[in-house]
Amino acid sequence: MGLFIPFISCCICPLHSRSSLRNIRLMLTLSFLLGLTNLTLTYPSKVIIKSFTCKSEDAKIATKALRYAVDEINSRDDLPFRLSFDHHDVEPGASEAWSLITAVCNELKEGGMTLISIDGGRGYEAMRGLADMLEMPLISITPPTYQIENTNFFGIAIRPSTAEILADFIIHKGWTEIIMFTDGDYSGIPMPSLWHHLHKKTNQSVSAHMVELPAEMDQFDEFLRQFHVRRFNDTHAFHSQRSAEDLKNQCKDVVVPKFNRIIIDTTSSSRMQKLLIAIRSAQFSQAYYHYVVGNFDFSPYDVEMFHQGNINISGFQLINRETRGYWNLRKHLKKGRQMTTDASAGDDLDAHSALAHDAILVAYHGFARCLAANDSLFHGTFRHGRFYNRGYPGIFCDPAADGAHSSRPFASFEHGRTISKALRGMSLDSRDGTLTGNIQFDQQGERRNYDVSVVDLVSNTKATFNRKEVMAWRQGVGFFSNRTIAQHTRKPMDAGRNRVVKILTNIVAPFTMLSSGCQLNDTTTPECQGNARFQGYCIDLLSRLAKQIPGFNYEIVIGHKAGSRQSDGSWDGMIGDLLSGKADMIVASLTINQERERVVDFSKPFMTTGISIMIKKPEKQEFSVFSFMQPLSTDIWMYIIFAYIGVSVVIFLVSRFSPYEWRVEETARGGFAISNDFSVYNCLWFTLAAFMQQGTDILPRSVSGRIASSAWWFFTMIIVSSYTANLASFLTLEKMQAPIENVEDLAKQTKIKYGIQGGGSTASFFKFSSVEIYQRMWRYMDSQVPSVFVSNYAEGIEKVRQHKGRYAFLLEATANEYENNQLPCDTMKVGANLNSIGYGIATPFGSDWKDLINLAILALQEKGELKKLEIKWWVELTDCVKDTSVDGSSASLNLSKVAGIFYILMGGMIASMLAALGEFLYRSRIEARKSNSNSLVGNFAKNLKSALSSQLRLSVQGGAVAQPGTQSFEAIKRQQAASFLPASNDKDSSMASDNRLSPTYQPYNTAV
């Protein structure tokens, strides 16, 4: 509906001096540009802006853009006033025009200086009539209506009409018939103005058919389907009538075009988006349709979606999307916006919101222009805290209808003509913050000298996507033929066969290097002329591309850095040269990213890489005289010592308690000595000899002793084998222990500083990364003094070499791996790549070579040629011998690798002791039974106890001697004599046999 910008009221103290009054008057008049209040203010004053709109989604978004523009102006520090914004909704319906007039007239009673119309239709017509009557300046965001005479001096239109550009587009296409999809009574494209421009520029007649769109947006799909059916039936009916000779005259007025050219004209951008979605999802063939979006809401999202289909469509773009203001307003409007069905389309900024933003700028600069010409223009407008017009307070639309002011005459706004003249005479552009380019007005208040981008998408059967043309058009001039850019069109294979292609590259090893003995500017040597003076991965890649693409003749030109975007929107470096036409292609280690993709076309990636970490190689460790001990860790050595002592003790104990380890020998005096070979000294010697893989003159005879010995022998076999194997590899490999192993190690320490190349794609990765660890690394690097950033890779690599392990450099993995293999071979890569990026060949939009290069790169990938080139320059042509070095972890054998053998050893010792206890009890029981074979149970228990006691005493004492004449001597004597007698029965025979087999063991039952 309408936006009312009221004025502000204030009083000036008469006690000020004349010069002071003039200065205060100037400041106050500047603050009166767009506000209204009935309070007395002193500068700097606050301007109040009030808006009136019909309730709708588009009006709501436009109002939000107005608020943003007000806040944007208020944020400036050089203004003598600030703006405030107040919004009022008017209910839509049949009486919306009357409701709008009533609301505005009520506000004008307090004062006002200009109006802004947001909505079109009846509301705009009512607002225009009110502005003409009151001579009130009117700024309209809706398209201007067609007027033959200048009857609207007080209105200006921010939104230009599409009638003139549509006329030029129809003439450019050579169309003679069109179909208009419109929204009922209101039309954003005034048809009289369209016919006026067509007749002005061509004598050819153009016929039009008007088709009204349904009111409900969910009916668009059914509407398109029925429209297609009607057009299909009408076409067949037309051809049937033409085949009948007698009905030929009856069908001469029937107009059924073979190709349907449809111009879409909707009242809002939301309805336009819904209709475009319905067109994309239509289930019938649209090969014979060509749609034209008749407003300025053909967004980049729409271009992308239609670009991949077979639908012919064209549209106009008025917004300058290369400015910072566009992105800021888009981000602001995106907050809290209710997304459309296509969320990506809803993210973009529509023309209505951009024009609303520019309307505030026009109003502000218009009043500034008035006051620049006459700083006392509004001196008599404010008195006693009120707004006065022609000597009366406020502005009344109908004084007679107001009882309190029925006696005052009707008076129009006294400064209306001055303000309107200032608005029409202004000139703004993007430097003033406009989003729709150059803003100028003619005498009728319509935009002039503005630029529009025309995007034309046409079905292309030779490619999987449409043919795209972006044409520049200027009001009053027409299309710029020399600025037309054809994009994404499948070209013939012989395109540009006879033209030499200029290839830009830069000197970066191993991608592009000077050949041996050649200088960059030396052309005297025949071997160093032309392309022959260069070598490297990119040079070999170009030669293989030339074999794949017929007629690909190229000349290599050396550039410098890749290029970055400047503050004015231009590009420097190789990308800048490519955009300016100095070269046709960039073949280098050029990273594909979003910002570069906006201005150039990239091929398929010919190599994938990522950001990696380079550090200086750690110093090689020197071996000491005790290096032979390093194959086993210190813990293992300690555990082996403890195991050696423990096993010796276990063998000693089981040998003492096992009766099978005792033997009887005659002494020199004729007595008998009972002894055990496994003393403490002998046990230590036995286990040490087994560990050293040597033999001894004593061996265990008992089961328990043999179990313990077997477990120890198995343990020593594993330990000695592991030590021998680890010693061989440990002494032959040079161990280097890296201080860091990955990016996490680098980020959590501060001893080693790290940096990157400033201003490149690596810096952008860290600066805008959403990963917390990379954000922390960026903050660390950005805060270091002196700076850890370098200007190029060579400086960063040299810094790594000079700082003796105290500096790490983050660079692309391709450069990292190549430099590590070059002399002096003192750097190394650690960890995995931080991200994944690709290198591509850059061409201008619409280049003849893009599709051919893509096909050639895919062919080289499938054949393995690209991998061969990578191996050649990164593996084969190196100066360093690849080391087989151990990583940062220790090479010593630790406990976790051999813990199992210790468990086996402990299990063997426990089993041995249990066996010894069994043997001890078993032999004691046998001895007790022999002594009392026919006695009672009580005597047997007594004898068993005696046998256990004597055996235990023997084990503790470590042996005994039976002297002649003692009871023990006689018992041993009888047993020894009995062992040589023939057996009297089976039992005695078996006993005698057992004694003969074990002559060293003589059982006894007498304590010595």
Inter-residue contact 852 to 841 (CB < 8 Å): no
Strand order in the sheet with 114-117: 81-90, 45-54, 2-5, 114-117, 138-140, 155-157
HSE-CB for 533 with a 13 A CA cutoff: 18
509-517 contact pairs (CB < 8 A, 24+): 509/536, 509/815, 509/818, 509/819, 509/822, 510/536, 510/537, 510/818, 510/873, 510/874, 510/877, 511/536, 511/537, 511/538, 511/588, 511/589, 511/814, 512/536, 512/537, 512/538, 512/539, 512/556, 512/558, 512/588
Beta-bridged to residue 266, according to DSSP, are: none
Tell me the binding residues for L-glutamate.
591, 596, 761-762, 812
Inter-residue contact 53 to 24 (CB < 8 Å): no
CA angle in degrees (0–180, nearest 5) for 188-189-192: 135
Q: Is the sign of the CA dihedral 594, 600, 605, 611 positive or negative?
A: negative
Structure tokens at 647: 């096993």
How far is 573 from 559, CA to CA, in rounded Å? Answer: 7
Structure tokens at 297: 């809401």
Inter-residue contact 112 to 36 (CB < 8 Å): yes
How far is 598 from 565, CA to CA, in rounded Å? Answer: 11
Inter-residue contact 915 to 703 (CB < 8 Å): yes
Q: List C-alpha distances in Å: 675 to 334, 499, 687.
A: 100, 109, 20
Residue 156's nearest CA partner among 415, 462, 421 is 421
How far is 535 from 517, CA to CA, in rounded Å? Answer: 12
Inter-residue contact 796 to 757 (CB < 8 Å): yes
How far is 230 from 414, CA to CA, in rounded Å? Answer: 58
Residue 140's nearest CA partner among 379, 290, 359, 422 is 359
HEC readout, 314-359: EEEECCCCCCHHHHHHHHHHHCCCCCCCCHHHHCCCCHHHHHHHHH
DSSP state of 590: P
How far is 272 from 69, CA to CA, in rounded Å? Answer: 25
Q: Show Cβ contacts of residue 518 under 8 Å, excluding neighbours closer than 6 positions.
A: 525, 527, 528, 533
Beta strands per DSSP E along 12-44: none
Residue 657's nearest CA partner among 704, 691, 617 is 704
What is the C-alpha radius of gyration for the chain, rounded to an integer number of angstroms?
Answer: 50
Beta-bridged to residue 866, according to DSSP, are: none
Cα of first residue to Cα of last residue in the chain, in angstroms, is: 128
DSSP letter string over 147-179?
-SS---TTEEESSPPSHHHHHHHHHHHT-SEEE
Inter-residue contact 154 to 424 (CB < 8 Å): no
Tell me the binding residues.
591, 596, 761-762, 812
CA dihedral of 592, 593, 597, 598, whole degrees rounded to 10: -160
How far is 413 from 390, CA to CA, in rounded Å? Answer: 8
Inter-residue contact 472 to 451 (CB < 8 Å): yes
How far is 164 from 197, CA to CA, in rounded Å? Answer: 6
Inter-residue contact 556 to 515 (CB < 8 Å): no
